[in-house]
Copies of this chain bind each other. A is one copy, B any other.
Amino acid sequence: MTAQKEEQFFKKEKGCLIVISGPSCAGKGTVTEIVHQHCPDIKFSVSETTRKPRPMEKEGVDYFYQSVENFEKRIEENMYLEYAKVHGNYYGTPRDYVEKMIDGGYDVILEIDIQGAAQIRKTFKKAVYIFIAPPSMEELRRRIHSRGTETKEEMERRLSCAYEEMTNADDYSYIVINENKETAARQVRAIITAEKCRTERLINHVLEILKR
């Protein structure tokens, strides 16, 4: 991007970082996807991984694919806001993309697991943390079972992990109970709109109105 184009592209005010998390199978991916469809202006961070692309996945849409060597080099250079190794593969949120968008005035959504959100919290105190919760543990169990791709043991492990993760809800600013995905997405959008109206974000604007 040329300097001139970049100037037109970026806005004066900083953007918000919105972190959407919650237990496995609470529906954070689905809710985030609906928010994405309604809010084309919001940027969605794409993770990097050392896992091989699956047949339908696209570079830059599902993930950015990295070699293990590159990923580990980038860890040492502090290039990830958070990262984790799962089943032998690295997954991480690239710091540069997120920081550039926020500094440029764009809101960025990160949809991330509980452990990742805890890592982000150490760096971004001012981010908006939204916890997506299932309407009941039976419903969560039903959703885990309906995925159907796992063994019974794996499903039980996932459910007990979800119980544990539910106790993290009070680390978040907002809780959205995902009984209905459209309602939940509407609540997430309302939270983003409300956060843009917070006095600490707009007080300078009011002072400028007074000067004119």
Contact = CB atoms under 8 A, between A and B. Distances in A.
A149 interface: no
A199 B172 contact: yes
Contacts of A195: 194
Given A175-B202, A194-B190, A166 B210 contact: yes
Interface string A159-196: 00001001101101111110000000011011101110
B170 A203 contact: yes
Q: How many copies of this kind of chain does the complex include?
A: 2
Given A170-B199, A177-B202, A189-B190, 12 more contacts: A135-B209, A137-B209, A137-B212, A173-B199, A174-B199, A175-B198, A175-B202, A175-B206, A190-B190, A190-B194, A194-B194, A194-B195
20 contacts: A131-B199, A133-B206, A133-B209, A136-B212, A137-B209, A138-B212, A167-B210, A169-B202, A169-B206, A174-B198, A177-B202, A177-B205, A187-B193, A187-B197, A190-B190, A190-B193, A190-B197, A191-B193, A193-B194, A194-B195
